Structure formats: structure tokens, C-alpha cells
Amino acid sequence: MSVRRLAEIQPASFAFTPENAAWCDKQIAKYPEHRQASAILSLLWRAQKQHDYWLPKPAIEDVARRLSMPYIRVLEVATFYTMFNLEPVGKYFIQMCGTTPCVLAGSDDIKAVLEKRVGPQRHVTADGLFSWLEVECLGACCNAPMVQINDDYYEDLSAENFNTLLDDLAAGRPVTIGSQTGRRTSEPAGGLTSLLSLYGVDGKSGPECGTHDPNKHYTPTEPEAPKDVTATQEPAPAQPAQARSEQEAKHSVAQPEKTEETGTARTEPSAPKDKA
């Protein structure tokens, strides 16, 4: 684990904007009396976002005052979680996933681009635009390799499309968030293989595309009740072979057949054997 210390150069003061101060009050009010410390992550996060994505010491002190907590306890939290930057970062702060699925999918190429264009980790480029950090899994392994830049994910990266992405950001051009290869969410990279009649071969042109209303609350369909619940039952517990054959001989009935669908035994016995 890396050592996390406050930056050597600190601003003289920090104050939440009136809007953010009101937001903090709202978060604190969510918790019962004497439990206001629970709002600590929200407040530190808000402070970081207000302060160019890094957390200076005066901001940590401000949060401690608002939550009536000792400064050292808030400092402990700020230095523990890597989501908090303790030193200045670039305008575009890049968190590159270096966990196994991303490594296997080529994150070393992305790392090489960052080292070449931005420099070592935590270094901010001279124009203040970029800095980067290698982090653990960001939960988008299906679209590996990927990076998070500020609040957004950029996925399905290659050295080529990542270079283009950085060029576009540097030039202030619009960029596409998410997959950089045109893949929709985490659908198969080679295109859809099922539900084609609903969503089309390209996943975008079927009759179901565009019909989802994000404001509507969908209720999952209840599974249908079995038509005849008395028709099936769990198989009887296993018995020693000899005891079973004695029992079968006694009752003179055939073994129950297994259903094709479920593999469970039906209760209806076969017709008794004709003893005549």
C-alpha cells in the first residue's frame, strides 16, 4: 500500500460555496442525532469536487468542524480511501485499471501511452491538463481495458483509440463516454447473438429499441404457477439396493419414470402386473 500524505503546498483556506454548504447541511440532516459523522464521505467528496478534484488540509478541517469530529479522525478517513486525492491532479484525472482482466485485455498498452504522454503516476503535465494513477478494478471488466477520467468511464481501449481520446480532450473536442469501439454497454464485442428479432443485428434497430421509458417503473413478471403441482414430487430418499428391490417385489410395481423436463419422478405408479 502506498503512503498517502497531505500535499506539501496547501491553500491558506477553504470554504464551501453557499450551494455546497446547503447541500452538506442536507446530508448531515439525514442521520440521527449523534450520528452525523456518518456523512463524512459525502462531505469530503463534495469538498474534493469543489476544489479541483483534490482535498486540501483546510477542507478536511472544515468537514471536521461541520461534523463536530476531531480533525485526526477525518484525516484518517481522507488518507485511507484512495478515492480522495491529497495532492493536485490534472484537469483530466485519469484512473487506469491495472487489475487482472484489464491487464489480460491489454491495459499495459494504455499504461505505456500514459507514461509516454503524461509521465509517471501523480505527475501533472505542464499545461495542467492530465495526471494519472493506476487503480484496482473499477467494475467494468466486461469492457476492459478501461480508464476513468474524472467521473466518466472510457472502455474498450486500445493504444490507438486512447491516444485519440487524449488528443480530443486536450483540444477541447467532444468525446464519447463509454465504449470507444461503438459497442453498446457490455453486449458481445462481435455483435448480438440472441434477441435479434427484438433488438436487431446491430442491437440498435429492432422494434424494442428506444421503447424503454427510464421514468417508468417496471414490475418484474411473476413466474407462472405450475399447472398441476400434485403431479410431481421429489424423488424418494436413496435406499440400500437390497431393501429397495425387496420393497419393489412386495408391491409388484414398476419403477416410476422420470419426466423429460424436470427429471423428477411422477407419483402415478404403472399398472399392476397381470398375475394371471
Residue 101 binds ligand FES (CB under 6 A)? yes
Task: Tell me, letter by letter, the H, E, C secondary structure of the chain.
Answer: CCCCCCCCCCCCCCCCCHHHHHHHHHHHHCCCCCCHHHHHHHHHHHHHHHCCCCCCHHHHHHHHHHCCCCHHHHHHHHHHCCCCCCCCCCCEEEEEECCHHHHHCCHHHHHHHHHHHCCCCCCCCCCCCEEEEEECCCCCHHHCCCEEECCEEEECCCHHHHHHHHHHHHHCCCCCCEECCCCCCCCCCCCCCCCHHHHCCCCCCCCCCCCCCCCCCCCCCCCCCCCCHHHECCCCCCCCHHHHHHHHHHHCCCCCCECCCCCCEECCCCCCCCCC
**Site for ligand FES contains 63 (CB under 6 A):** no
The single residue among 6, 138, 175, 209 that binds ligand FES, judged by CB under 6 A, is 138
Binding window for ligand FES (CB under 6 A); candidates: 12-20, 71-79, 137-145, 245-253:
137-145
Q: How far apart are CA 200 and CA 211, in angstroms?
A: 14
Kindly tell me which residue out of 86, 102, 124, 147 binds ligand FES, with binding defined by CB under 6 A: 102
Asked if 129 interacts with ligand FES (CB under 6 A), we say no
The region of 43-51, 131-139, 181-189, 235-243 touching ligand FES under the rule CB under 6 A is 131-139
Q: Which is nearer to ligand FES, 113 or 141 (CB)?
A: 141
Tell which one of 28, 97, 118, 133 touches ligand FES (CB under 6 A): 97
Binding ligand FES (rule: CB under 6 A), the pick from 28, 74, 144, 169 is: 144
Q: How many residues bind ligand FES (CB under 6 A)?
A: 11
Nearer to ligand FES, 74 or 141 (CB): 141
Comparing CB distances to ligand FES, the nearer of 103 and 265 is 103
Q: At closest approach, how far in Å is the CB of 91 from ligand FES?
A: 23
Q: Is the dihedral of CA 8, 13, 19, 24 positive or negative?
A: positive
By CB under 6 A, tell whether 99 contacts ligand FES.
Answer: yes
Give me the residues paired with residue 93 across strands. 131
Q: Can residue 96 be called a binding residue for ligand FES (CB under 6 A)?
A: no
Residue 141 is a binding residue for ligand FES (CB under 6 A): yes
Closer of 28 and 146 to ligand FES (Cβ): 146
Contact between 265 and ligand FES per CB under 6 A:
no
Residue numbers of the site for ligand FES (CB under 6 A)? 97, 99, 101-102, 137-141, 144, 146
